[in-house]
Structure 1
Amino acid sequence: MPVLSDEDRRFLAELFRQRQWMMYRTVFPMLQNPWDTEDVIQSVAVKLTDKLPLLRSLEGPRLTAYLAAACRNTALNHRRETQRRAEYPYSEELGCPGQSLAAQNLLPEMEDRFLALRQAWKGLDQRSQYLLRARYLERKFFAEIAACLGMQPKSARMALTRARRKARDLVMAALARLEAE
């Protein structure tokens, strides 16, 4: 986060004072939780500190639309992250997630999924493996991936989408084979 001058702080404070209700009305219907809504608006404020020159250049409806889009996108990301966390409960009683899964008798199902993933990985071509590994394990940006493959970042994004589809199809086929056994 950049160090803000007094002028920048005043600008942001005035911007949020004028548009806070619009931002709240944009986020709250998506999350239905006032605390999460406030968290998202605070996150937007932090993210927008990097965009001060752009914010100063926008006026009226364009500025409002930009803020609404930033709020909407941040709210969607927040909702996705909350759903992801809810899928993997942590048992405080048992002390670790592995024990929690064993207690719920989910380990055999997870072993099947892992086996299906291994089989699917072997069925992918090297390019698809590279794309998935670079993006999700190495956390590379599309520009980096594209540079390694000699393509445009948009093409790398589309290639990754296709690789994900291939991997999903292979995993589903492997799971179906395992269930049939």
Structure 2
Amino acid sequence: MKLLLDFVANPDNEWIWHLVQATLVIIGFYLVSRQLRLARDQNSISHLNYFREVWNSEPLLRARLAVAERTVLESSDFEGYEDVLVTFMEDLGAAISVGQVNTEHVWRYYSYYIDGYWLLLNPKVTYYRERTSDPIYFEGFEELHNLSARVSRQHGTFPMLESYLSSFRKEEIKTVRFLLGSDLLPDNPVQ
């Protein structure tokens, strides 16, 4: 033990202390960056939980049900329920673009809905852009859809095709009615 202390305390072996200090600084930077990453992920999860609460709130559930049940008329102004739904998607896209929520988290929870509602509402968005000569009308929703499609391809899956829209609508109507507590209405008998 005395030999080790003499070796370390020897002025000719200052490099050992520099090595120890450099190692501790590197470890410190690693731990701080890890803590920041964990805090960022926790913040993303908190924001995602907020979006889930809004997504499953009664006004948005009613909007989802209305869009899923009705034929979207592309050559008309946005109905209130359509606007509520598209605005939610715009907000979600904005949260991704400023880094409030993690793209992967959003993709895992919302990609199905993003794809389905984009396919349902895209003709109306396109018509409205042409009518108002405003090419960026609901651009955030379109960017969100494109981002979702890109992440889907990275995961080896593909965005929803129009041929699946009928199934999407049926599933969404069933889910939303359940969440609203109206899944046992006379026009929706138990099978």
Structures share a fold, TM > 0.5?
no
Please, what TM-score do these two structures have when normalized by structure 1?
A: 0.26
Q: Indicate the structure with greater helix content.
A: 1
Q: TM-score, normalised by structure 2?
A: 0.25
Structure with greater Cα Rg: 2
